[in-house]
Amino acid sequence: MTDEALGAVPSADGDDDLLTRAEASQFLLRFGVRMKPTTLARVWSTGGDGPPCIHVRRRPLYPRGVLRAWAERQSTGLRASARGTSGQEGSPQ
């Protein structure tokens, strides 16, 4: 599988490095994404929207660049509350 197929966006040296679940969990913290290794396993096994991984002899490994691209897509830009723009400030919800 190519990096493009996995959604990798080359941006730094080491993007091809393969990380274990424990290493991936620590790497995701840099982007404000908290996922324990067990959560990564559960999300993958249930077909959730977790980061893609490859398997080498049944061992899941996460390419660093793919993990970075996935983590960056998890956050949104700054948003203002819709409540302040509706003209009904002070109304009970």
Domain map (residue ranges) of the chain: 12-73
Q: What integer pLDDT is reported at residue 3 of this predicted model? A: 47
The answer to whether 54 touches 63, Cβ cutoff 8 Å, is: yes
Residue 10 has pLDDT above 50, yes or no: no
Structure tokens at 80: 């203002």
Residue 11 has pLDDT above 60, yes or no: no
Whole-model pTM: value is 0.68
β-partners of residue 63 are 18
Residue in 63, 52, 65 with CA at minimum distance from that of residue 9 = 65
Q: Mean pLDDT, to the nearest integer, of 74-89?
A: 72
pLDDT single digits (tens) 26-50: 999 999 999 999 999 999 888 888 9
Q: What integer pLDDT is reported at residue 12 of this predicted model? A: 58
